[in-house]
Amino acid sequence: MAAMKSDTVRYYYVDNLRTAVIMLVILLHLAVTYSGLGRWYYNEEHAPELFGLVFFSLFQTFVQGFSMGMLFLVAGYFTPGALQRKGFGRFVKDRWRRLGLPSLFYLLVVTPFICWTELPSSQWRSSASNFPDFYSEYIMSAGMKLLGVGPMWFAVALLIFSIIYALLRTVRPPTESTGAARGNGSFGILAALIFIVTVGAFLLRLAFPLGTIFWGMQLCYFSQYTILFIAGILAYRTRFQERITSAVGRRWLIAGIFLGFPILFVIKWMAGVYHFPVEAAHMKSAYANVAGGASWFSFSFALWESFVAVSMTVGLMALFRDKLNNGGGLARKLSDSSFAVYMFHPPIIIAVSLAMQVLVAAPVLKWAIASLICVPLCFLLAYHVLLRVPVLNRIL
């Protein structure tokens, strides 16, 4: 994919930030593999131990708290300019090619490949003795709705958001921006954004608690995703992201990291998540405390999550803009490969995880080793193999 542009300006730092987030996604899915905390194609079973429980729960929740919301904000930022340049018809056609076709390919090809070839004894594989029967059962199964689109749920959601925005702009074209709404990342504006996302998440989780999945989408997080996508659109008109000062970005990044982790630990400890030895009934009850419903734990977790999403997004965007705005050499190759990595990393990391089954080690150590292998391997295969396949290079 080419470097992201707004009008004639290239934002290499956005490409580099996107690459970094996709690396985090790989680490996150490997963490789910070895922790068992979350739904994934393959979860390796281990004897529970306290350090792994604390490490994985903090790491997974923190990364989940900001990573995808940041990608939605970035996507929202570049949506108005793309619509203006291309017009409605070409814009929708382009979005379908870049987002819809890859998602359809993943649903119909990649997930069946994973289930049939890599995980023949898993819950996602039927008892069919041949591939045609398996494929027919897969198309009709609930498993397709749960994990069929895999990580491409992001592309599906972004396609829906983009089409809705284009339709709204067709009905009501944007007015000329006077620049009066421009800001520099003031505390009041960002605090209001945190509050709006918090209230939306708390209310949404009354109906869709954490763990709710529909066609691969965890609806419980869509307050953050929707509002940050809208915030990205507004930031485009006001150039809000470009006007955040380095000092403001640094303060928010420090706050996100050094307040985010300890506050999360306290919330989970008070909710009973770190009860040891692990008992299934107790863990289910503990996670239910923060998953949703009209409770203090649910609201406090929604507030924490919204704070981390906004603080890390503002901080990382300022950091990458100031320090990592390079578009040449290795950075360009990583950026060009990033979407292919995002789309095809599941079968790659599953293969590595299965190959490492013979290694007897603590889950955190296995996660670290697998991470060191999988991140470079995914990018190497994407750049040197996947992008060279004629059918794939048209949609990647």
pTM for this model (two decimals): 0.91
| Structural domain contains residue 177 | no
Instruction: Report pLDDT for 364.
Output: 96
| Structural domain contains residue 19 | yes
**CA angle, 177 then 179 then 182, to 5°:** 125
DSSP 394: G
Instruction: Report pLDDT for 180.
Output: 43
- Range of 152's domain? 5-171+185-394
Instruction: Report pLDDT for 277.
Output: 67
Reduce the DSSP state of residue 5 to 3 states and report it: strand
One DSSP character per residue, 222-289 reads HHHHHHHHHHHHHHHHHTHHHH--HHHHHHHHHHHHHHHHHHHHHHHHHHTTT-SS--HHHHHHHHHH
| Structural domain contains residue 180 | no
Q: Give how many domains the chain has, as a whole number.
A: 1
Instruction: Report pLDDT for 119.
Output: 84
| Structural domain contains residue 178 | no
Instruction: Report pLDDT for 172.
Output: 84
Mean pLDDT of 193-212: 92
Least confident range of 16-20, 42-46, 84-88, 185-189: 185-189
Instruction: Report pLDDT for 178.
Output: 44
Question: Would you state the structure tokens that stand for residue 261, as one six-digit string?
Answer: 């982790």
| Structural domain contains residue 375 | yes
Q: How confident is the model at residue 148 (pLDDT cuts 50, 70, 90)?
A: confident
Please name which of 310, 305, 171 lies closest in space to residue 235, comparing C-alpha atoms: 310
pLDDT tens digits along 339-360? 999 999 999 999 999 999 999 9
Q: How confident is the model at residue 389 (pLDDT cuts 50, 70, 90)?
A: very high
Q: How confident is the model at residue 129 (pLDDT cuts 50, 70, 90)?
A: confident
Instruction: Report pLDDT for 130.
Output: 87
Question: Would you state the structure tokens that stand for residue 3, as one six-digit string?
Answer: 């470097």
Least confident range of 107-116, 201-210, 238-247, 358-367: 238-247
pLDDT tens digits along 104-121? 999 999 999 998 898 877
| Structural domain contains residue 63 | yes
Asked if residue 302 lies in contact with residue 205, where contact means CB atoms within 8 angstroms, the answer is yes
Asked if residue 223 lies in contact with residue 197, where contact means CB atoms within 8 angstroms, the answer is yes
| Structural domain contains residue 179 | no
pLDDT tens digits along 70-85? 999 999 999 999 999 9
Dist CA 66 CA 69 (whole Å): 5
| Structural domain contains residue 278 | yes
